[in-house]
């Protein structure tokens, strides 16, 4: 079955690195995504990784994928107060209709 889990809350100090973790159960997913949701807004795509990759870096964001353990992480370097939001990981199956299954979301609180 499809199940994606995340820890609920993470607190860091401004300037530190944040690491948000995610585990999933379905190894047939094709893509894994990270979305950010700010208060009162929709989900904004941050980055994604193809399932045959181990790592992807995009400016301050680093995504690591351990397919054997079905573990995905998002590292945010030099975390800023503007990074405070809920972060969702999601697995997708690609194809004509890229249905996504979302995790529970991790609330990132950045302390000044």
Partner 1 sequence: DAGVIQSPRHEVTEMGQEVTLRCKPISGHNSLFWYRQTMMRGLELLIYFNNNVPIDDSGMPEDRFSAKMPNASFSTLKIQPSEPRDSAVYFCASSAPDSPLHFGNGTRLTVT
Assess 48 for contact with partner 1 (CB under 8 A).
yes
Nearer to partner 1, 79 or 106 (CB): 106
Residue 44 Cβ, how far from partner 1 at the closest point, in Å? 7
Among 25, 44, 57, 66, binds partner 1 (CB under 8 A): 44
Q: Measuring CA to CA, which residue among 54, 59, 47, 50 is closest to residue 87?
A: 47
Q: Using the rule CB under 8 A, give the single segment among 13-21, 53-61, 69-77, 96-104 that binds partner 1.
A: 96-104
Contacts of 3 (CB under 8 A, 6+ apart): 24, 25, 26, 101
Query: What is the C-alpha separation between 25 and 52, in angstroms, rounded?
Result: 16
Per CB under 8 A, 52 contacts partner 1 = no
Measured from the CB atom, the residue of 14 and 93 that comes closer to partner 1 is: 93
The whole-angstrom separation of Cα 29 and Cα 78 is: 30
- Whole-Å CA distances, 101 to 9, 15, 34, 80: 20, 31, 12, 28
Q: Which residues of this protein are in contact with partner 1, per CB under 8 A?
A: 31, 33, 35, 40-45, 48, 88, 92, 94-105
């Amino acid at each position: 079955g499809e199940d994606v889990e995340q820890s609920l809350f993470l607190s860091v100090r401004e300037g530190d690195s944040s690491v948000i973790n995610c585990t999933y159960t379905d190894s047939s997913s094709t893509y894994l995504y990270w979305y950010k949701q700010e208060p009162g807004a929709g989900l904004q795509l941050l980055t994604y990784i193809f399932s045959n990759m181990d790592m992807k870096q995009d400016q301050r964001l680093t995504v690591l994928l351990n397919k054997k353990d079905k573990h995905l992480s998002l590292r945010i370097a030099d975390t800023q107060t503007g990074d405070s939001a809920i972060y969702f990981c999601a697995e997708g199956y690609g194809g004509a209709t890229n249905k996504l299954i979302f995790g529970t979301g991790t609330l990132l609180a950045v302390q000044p």
